[in-house]
Amino acid sequence: MIPTINLKELIFSTTRKRDTMALITYREALKQALAEEIERDENVCIMGEEVAQYNGAYKVTEGLWEKYGDKRVIDTPISEAAFSGLAIGSSMLGIRPVVEMMFMSFSYVAFDQLFNNASFCRYMSGGLMNVPIVVRGPANGGTNVGATHSHTPENLVANHPGLKVVCPSNAYDAKGLMKSAIRDNDPVFVMENTLLYGEKWEVPEEEFIVELGVANTLKEGTDISIISHGRCAMIALKAAEILQNEHAINAEVIDLRSIRPLDEDAILNSVRKTHRAVLVEENKPYCGVDAQISHLIQYKAFDDLDAPIHRVSAIDAPQIYSKPLEDWQIPNEQRIIDSVLKCLA
């Protein structure tokens, strides 16, 4: 009999021994991380649109302004280029701002600040400075809001040496990665997901962090590696459960967690064991993160492969508004299962 999978527990069973646990939402986990870091370091502050008095468009910062006040939790006008650049400048003097993009889609109006200044100042100064900022906010589709509000730009960020980017798929990682991101001395993008904010997972009550650059094996398996990140990793896990129960396929599910830095060993070790890989991401396929991972696998584990690497990503077009079509456009369990069956055929 194949054991059923407990999604909530599997997530971090491989990463740490059990502490006292609390079942909390992804949103609450992020908020705890922000609050703990504000308390820990007087230079940590939060800025963005509606983050303070309105408690955040998605309530991630709820209660923080009330508790920590105007100096630490700062409402901005709708001027992303200005406040992103301001955050970068202030970080040169040791402030550690956490900049909220109400949607990561809005970072595009601050492109120069984030993709030129945050990423290259250190390099161009020959290492004389560093930019310890965090840029956080939801980067996902699936919410029926159309093309301008549904970007998943982790690949754009990863394409800029100097920037780091993580995509937490669950509350535990959201908290642990956020804390690491704030303590990190480089600019780190934390790609959140509005569809996960209300989901609950068990998170230790004791303080912990999740290091950047360490993937997580969500489910061990022998037949095929499903490699994914962000909310897609959770969908992949559900697909793996169905594959196990209905097709007797024992898939391994790897959650990258961190896109840059990337845990190459986790990917390669898994593929060396299963000899097949399906890569799943919500982003559009062309020049997506998984294009790089696919290259990595064929380059470093070519002889281990028994089949071509398959990819599941958003259907290659701007995000469609119509809900049932958008649900098909972005990866879902069925599309992952179809791809796994094809890869194993």
Partner 1 sequence: MPTKQAVKKSTGKSGSTKKFEAEAINKKLSKSEKLKLYKKIVAIRRFEERSLQAYNQGKIGGFLHLYIGQEAVATGIVSLMEENDHIITAYRDHGHALAVGMTMNECMAELYGKYTGCSKGKGGSMHYFAPDKRYWGGHGIVAGQTPLGAGLAFALKYKGLKGCAVCFLGDGAVNQGSFMETLNLVSLWGIPVVYVIENNGYSMGTSLKRSSAEESLAKRGEAFGIEWSTCEGHDIFEVRSAANKAMTYARDNLKPYILEIRTYRYRGHSVADANHEKYRTKEEIENYKKNKDPINVLKTKLLADKTLTEASAKEIDREIKAEAEASAKFAEESPYPPKSEITTDVYWTVDNDSDNQLKGTYFFND
Ligand X SMILES: Cc1ncc(C[n+]2csc(CCOP(=O)(O)OP(=O)(O)O)c2C)c(N)n1
Residues at the interface with ligand X (CB under 6 A) = 49, 78, 80, 102, 106, 109
Q: Do the Cβ atoms of 286 and 314 come closer than 8 Å?
A: no
| Closest of 102, 114, 262, 108 to residue 197, by C-alpha | 102
**Cβ of residue 60: shortest distance to partner 1, in angstroms?**
15
Q: How far is the CB of 77 from ligand X (least distance, A)?
A: 9
Beta bridge partners of 280: 228, 312
Q: Which of 256, 318, 252, 242 is nearest to 284 (CA)?
A: 318
Q: Could you tell me if 227 and 256 are in contact, meaning their C-beta atoms sit under 8 angstroms apart?
A: yes
Residue 246-275 contact track with partner 1, rule CB under 8 A, x = bound:
------------------------------
Q: How far is CA 31 from the centre of its chain?
A: 16
Question: Is the Cβ–Cβ distance between 175 and 29 less than 8 Å?
Answer: yes
Sites for partner 1 among residues 65-84 (CB under 8 A): 75, 77-82
**Is 63 among the residues that bind partner 1 (CB under 8 A)?**
no
Q: What do you get for the CA distance between the two ends of the chain, in Å? A: 24
Please check whether residue 74 is in contact with residue 51, taking contact to mean a CB–CB distance below 8 angstroms: yes
Which residue number, 78 or 325, has a Cβ lying nearer to ligand X? 78
Tokens 């004791």 identify what position?
Answer: 206
Q: Does 282 contact partner 1 by CB under 8 A?
A: no
Binders of partner 1: how many residues, by CB under 8 A?
Answer: 42
Residue 15 contact, options ligand X, partner 1, none, Cβ 5-8 Å cut-off depending on partner type: none
The interface partner of residue 86, options being partner 1, ligand X, none and the CB cut-off 5 to 8 Å by kind, is: none
Per CB under 8 A, 129 contacts partner 1? no
Least separation in angstroms between CB 8 and partner 1:
27
Residues in 310-339 that interact with partner 1 by CB under 8 A = 310-313, 315-318, 320-325, 328-329, 339
Q: Are 162 and 123 in contact (CB under 8 A)?
A: yes
Minimum Å gap between C-beta 110 and ligand X is: 9
DSSP 140: -
Name the minimum Å distance from CB 80 to ligand X.
6
Other Cβ atoms closer than 10 A to 309: 21
Residue from the set 149, 160, 229, 231 that interacts with partner 1 by CB under 8 A: 149
3-state secondary structure 198-215: CCEEEEECCCCCCCCCCC
Residue numbers annotated as active site: 80, 149
The residues of the shown chain that bind partner 1, judged by CB under 8 A, are: 49-50, 53-54, 57, 75, 77-82, 105-106, 108-109, 143-149, 285-286, 310-313, 315-318, 320-325, 328-329, 339
